[in-house]
C-alpha cells in the first residue's frame, strides 16, 4: 500500500492527458473508496520516473528561457484580455475613434462648402467665365464654372442647388446681374466683384481704343519682389496640427494606461492573489508581463486612432501632406509612445508595489502624473505661437518629457536630427536603468502587504 502511494506520488503533472484521469471522476466517493480509484490509473505512467517526481518534469517546467517566455506570454495575455473586456476601455476607444473621425469629417464638411463654389454662366457670356476663374484664383477661392444654355436654365440650376449663383453681364455692360437662391456667400461676392470690375475696366480700355489683353499682361507681370533677410522655416497648419495631435494623443495614452499599470499591481496586492502567483512566478516576470500586456493594448488603441485619423484626413484631403510623410509621422509618434510607456509603466509598476490599497495609489503615482502633464501643457501652450521655441527644444532632450515633446517637434519639423538622436539615446539609457531599478523596488515591495513600503526599504533589499 505504501509503495503504491509512493508511486502515485510521481508527478501526475507531467502527463497532461493523465492529469484529469486521477480521482476526480468518482465525485462523491468516501476517502477510503477513493483510494482504489486513485491508485489504479497513475501507476503505470508514474513508473517511468524512478519513484522520484523530479526527473519526470515536462521539458519547459523548469526555470529555463523557454519557460520564462511561456510565463511572460501567459501573464501578458491575461492583462490584454482583462483590458479588452473592461467596459471603460471599450467605451473610451469607441469615443476616441468617433471623435477623431468626426472632427476630420466636420472640418471637411465646413471647409468644403466654403472653398468650392459653382457659378453658372450662360454660353453667350463665355468670356466672363475665364475672368471669374482668374479673379477666384487671385483671391484664393475655388470656383467651378457651369455653362448653361440660357438665363432660364441658369436660374433653374441655382434653384436646384446645382449652382451657387447664375451670372450675366448687365445690359449696360458695367457689371453683373447675379441670381442666387437665398443669399450670396461673402467669398463668392468678392470674387464676382473683382471679376465685374475687371470686365468694366476691359470695357473702358476697349472704348478708349486700347487692347485689353496687352493691359492685362502688363498688370499681371507687375508685382512686388520680396527680399527675405532672415528666412523662417516653412510652416504649415497641417504639420503643426499633426504634431500637436500626436503629442496630445501620446499624453492621453500615457495618462490613461500608465496609472493602469499601478492599479493592476495594487489590485494583485490588495486581493492577495500575488501570494498565489509569486509561489510560481518570479516577480520580474509578473511585472514585465503586466507592462507588456497593457503596453500592447495601449499601442493597439493608438494605432487604431492613428489609422482612422490619418486615413480619413488623407482620404478627404483635409490632411494636406503626402501620404508617405503622414504615415512616417504616425510611425515615429508610435515609437515615441512605446519608449514613453516603457519608462512610465516601469515607474508606475514600482510605485504601485509600494502600497497595498487603491486609496493609497494617488500618493505614489502623483510624481509621474506631474511628469506627464508638464511637457504636454508647455507644448500646447508654447508651440502654436512659436513653433521653434528654444525652451521646448531643450526640454525635449529630457527623457521623461521627450515622448510628448519630441513627436510635437518632429511633426512641426522644428528639430534637428542630432537632437532627436541624442534624446533617443538618453531615453533608451534611462529605460535600461529603470528596468533594473523598478525590478528591484517591485521585487522587494510587492510581497509586503499592509503599510506603505518606503522606497529606501524597497531599494535596500529583502
Partner 1 sequence: MGDGRLVIDGVSKRYGEVVALDALSFEVRAGELFGFVGSNGAGKTTAMRIVLGVLAADAGEVRYDGVPLDLAMRRRIGYMPEERGLYPRMKVAEQLGYLAQLHGLGPVAARRAVANWIERLGVADRRDDEVQKLSLGNQQRVQLAAALVHDPAVLVLDEPFSGLDPVAVDVMSEVLRERRAAGVPVVFSSHQLELVERLCDRVGIVRAGRMVACGPVEQLRAGGRGLLVVDAPQAGADWAGGLDGVRVRGREGSATLLELAEGVDDQAVLRAAMATGPVREFRHRRPSLVELFRDVVSNSDATPGAAAPHTGAETGTSAGLVEPTSTASSESTVTPSGGRSWPRRRMPR
Binding site for partner 1 (CB under 8 A): 1-2, 4-13, 16-17, 19-20, 22-25, 27, 29-32, 34-35, 38-39, 42, 50-54, 57-58, 60-63, 67, 71, 74-75, 78, 81-82, 267-268, 271-282, 447, 449, 462
Identity of the residue, 224 or 279, whose beta carbon is nearer to partner 1 in the bound complex:
279
* Smallest separation (angstroms) from partner 1 to the CB of 77: 9
The set of cell numbers assigned to 250 is 501620446
Residue with cell 514600482: 350
Identity of the residue, 82 or 296, whose beta carbon is nearer to partner 1 in the bound complex:
82
The set of cell numbers assigned to 249 is 494623443
* Smallest separation (angstroms) from partner 1 to the CB of 332: 36
| Angstrom distance (rounded) from CA 443 to CA 282 | 8
* Smallest separation (angstroms) from partner 1 to the CB of 323: 42
Identity of the residue, 49 or 216, whose beta carbon is nearer to partner 1 in the bound complex:
49
The set of cell numbers assigned to 291 is 507592462
Quick one: DSSP state of residue 355? -
The set of cell numbers assigned to 314 is 488623407
Instruction: Give, rounded to a whole angstrom, the gap between the first and last alpha carbons of the chain.
Output: 44
Quick one: DSSP state of residue 453? P
Identity of the residue, 76 or 408, whose beta carbon is nearer to partner 1 in the bound complex:
76
The set of cell numbers assigned to 454 is 518606503
**Whether 253 contacts 301, CB under 8 Å:** yes
* Smallest separation (angstroms) from partner 1 to the CB of 61: 4
* Smallest separation (angstroms) from partner 1 to the CB of 373: 29
Identity of the residue, 8 or 165, whose beta carbon is nearer to partner 1 in the bound complex:
8
Helices (H), 223-322: 237-270, 273-278, 283-316
**Whether 299 contacts 337, CB under 8 Å:** yes
Cα→Cα distances 18→30, 34, 42, 43, 59, Å = 22, 17, 7, 10, 16
Identity of the residue, 56 or 131, whose beta carbon is nearer to partner 1 in the bound complex:
56
* Smallest separation (angstroms) from partner 1 to the CB of 254: 24
Identity of the residue, 285 or 365, whose beta carbon is nearer to partner 1 in the bound complex:
285
* Smallest separation (angstroms) from partner 1 to the CB of 81: 8
* Smallest separation (angstroms) from partner 1 to the CB of 294: 15
Distance of CA 192 to the CA centre of its chain: 44
Query: What phi-psi label fits residue 267: left (phi over 0), alpha (psi between -120 and 50 degrees) or beta?
Result: alpha
**Residues 6 or more apart from 273 whose CB is under 8 A from it?**
none
Half-sphere exposure of 32 (CA within 13 A, CB side): 0
| Angstrom distance (rounded) from CA 450 to CA 248 | 37
Identity of the residue, 228 or 462, whose beta carbon is nearer to partner 1 in the bound complex:
462
| Angstrom distance (rounded) from CA 330 to CA 328 | 5
Query: What phi-psi label fits residue 209: left (phi over 0), alpha (psi between -120 and 50 degrees) or beta?
Result: left
Identity of the residue, 230 or 456, whose beta carbon is nearer to partner 1 in the bound complex:
456
The set of cell numbers assigned to 404 is 510628448
**Residues 6 or more apart from 278 whose CB is under 8 A from it?**
286, 446, 447
* Smallest separation (angstroms) from partner 1 to the CB of 253: 22
* Smallest separation (angstroms) from partner 1 to the CB of 99: 27
Identity of the residue, 10 or 246, whose beta carbon is nearer to partner 1 in the bound complex:
10
* Smallest separation (angstroms) from partner 1 to the CB of 38: 4
* Smallest separation (angstroms) from partner 1 to the CB of 280: 5
* 442 burial via Cβ count (<10 Å: 0-12, 13-18, 19+): buried
Identity of the residue, 226 or 279, whose beta carbon is nearer to partner 1 in the bound complex:
279
Residue with cell 497595498: 356
Identity of the residue, 51 or 367, whose beta carbon is nearer to partner 1 in the bound complex:
51
Amino acid at each position: 500500500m505504501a509503495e503504491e502511494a509512493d508511486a502515485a506520488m510521481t508527478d501526475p503533472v507531467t502527463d497532461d492527458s493523465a492529469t484529469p484521469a486521477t480521482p476526480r471522476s468518482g465525485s462523491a466517493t468516501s476517502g477510503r473508496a477513493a483510494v482504489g480509484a486513485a491508485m489504479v490509473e497513475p501507476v503505470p505512467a508514474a513508473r517511468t520516473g524512478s519513484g522520484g517526481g523530479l526527473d519526470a518534469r515536462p521539458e519547459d517546467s523548469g526555470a529555463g528561457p523557454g519557460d520564462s517566455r511561456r510565463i511572460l506570454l501567459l501573464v501578458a495575455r491575461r492583462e490584454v484580455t482583462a483590458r479588452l473586456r473592461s467596459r471603460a476601455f471599450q467605451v473610451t476607444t469607441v469615443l476616441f475613434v468617433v471623435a477623431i473621425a468626426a472632427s476630420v469629417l466636420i472640418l471637411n464638411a465646413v471647409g468644403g462648402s466654403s472653398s468650392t463654389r459653382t457659378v453658372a454662366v450662360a454660353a453667350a457670356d463665355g468670356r466672363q467665365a475665364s475672368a471669374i476663374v482668374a479673379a477666384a484664383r487671385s483671391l484664393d477661392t475655388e470656383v467651378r464654372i457651369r455653362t448653361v444654355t440660357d438665363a432660364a436654365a441658369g436660374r433653374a440650376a441655382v434653384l436646384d442647388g446645382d449652382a451657387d449663383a447664375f451670372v450675366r453681364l448687365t445690359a449696360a455692360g458695367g457689371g453683373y446681374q447675379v441670381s442666387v437662391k437665398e443669399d450670396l456667400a461673402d467669398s463668392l461676392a468678392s470674387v464676382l466683384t473683382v471679376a465685374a470690375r475687371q470686365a468694366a475696366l476691359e470695357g473702358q480700355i476697349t472704348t478708349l481704343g486700347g487692347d485689353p489683353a496687352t493691359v492685362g499682361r502688363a498688370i499681371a507681370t507687375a508685382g512686388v519682389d520680396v527680399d527675405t533677410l532672415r528666412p523662417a522655416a516653412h510652416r504649415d497648419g497641417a504639420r503643426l496640427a499633426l504634431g500637436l495631435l500626436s503629442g496630445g494623443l501620446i499624453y492621453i495614452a500615457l495618462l490613461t494606461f500608465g496609472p493602469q499599470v499601478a492599479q493592476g499591481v495594487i489590485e494583485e496586492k490588495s486581493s492577495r492573489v500575488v501570494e498565489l502567483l509569486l509561489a510560481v512566478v518570479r516577480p520580474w516576470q509578473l511585472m514585465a508581463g503586466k507592462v507588456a500586456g497593457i503596453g500592447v493594448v495601449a499601442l493597439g488603441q493608438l494605432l487604431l486612432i492613428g489609422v482612422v485619423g490619418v486615413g480619413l484626413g488623407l482620404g478627404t484631403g483635409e490632411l494636406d501632406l503626402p501620404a508617405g510623410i503622414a504615415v512616417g509621422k504616425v510611425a515615429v509618434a508610435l515609437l515615441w509612445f512605446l519608449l514613453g510607456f516603457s519608462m512610465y509603466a516601469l515607474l508606475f509598476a514600482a510605485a504601485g508595489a509600494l502600497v497595498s490599497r487603491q486609496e493609497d495609489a494617488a500618493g505614489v503615482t502623483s510624481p509621474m502624473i506631474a511628469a506627464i502633464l508638464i511637457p504636454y501643457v508647455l507644448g500646447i501652450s508654447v508651440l502654436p505661437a512659436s513653433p521653434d521655441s528654444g525652451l521646448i527644444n531643450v526640454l525635449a532632450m529630457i527623457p521623461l518629457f521627450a515622448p510628448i515633446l519630441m513627436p510635437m517637434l518632429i511633426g512641426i519639423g522644428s528639430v534637428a536630427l542630432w537632437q532627436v538622436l541624442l534624446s533617443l539615446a538618453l531615453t533608451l539609457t534611462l529605460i535600461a536603468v529603470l528596468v533594473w531599478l523598478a525590478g528591484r523596488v517591485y521585487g522587494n515591495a510587492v510581497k509586503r502587504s499592509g503599510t506603505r513600503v518606503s522606497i529606501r526599504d524597497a531599494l535596500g533589499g529583502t
